[in-house]
Structure 1
Amino acid sequence: MNFKGVFIAIQKALPLIADNGSIVLNASWTLYGEGDVAGWASVSALHALTWS
């Protein structure tokens, strides 16, 4: 999962979504081990984007 790719895809999709439409982001914490800092950072960024 790459945050930049998801962010760009959302930007491109927004004009195409009808009023009151929604985008569902699915990010799982269980995919990454303790040493996978980049994976944790991407998931954390997606969670932050979802809540903002």
Structure 2
Amino acid sequence: MAIFFIIGFTFLAWRVLSRGLWPKLWQTKRQNRKAEKTKKEGEKEKEKPG
């Protein structure tokens, strides 16, 4: 019985995480990537004269 309870609990926890946390984590990762890209582009523009 304990095994079934653990499996059910992990499944529910995974559903909650996938609904609530994972999208937020992916959004933050995407934002960080965008920020890095803009930083790199800005550095390139600074390096170019004029």
TM-score range, shorter chain: 0.3 to 0.5
Greater relative CO, 1 or 2 (CA 8 Å, sep 6+): 1
- Bigger helix fraction: 2
- TM-score normalized by the length of structure 1: 0.33
- TM-score normalized by the length of structure 2: 0.34
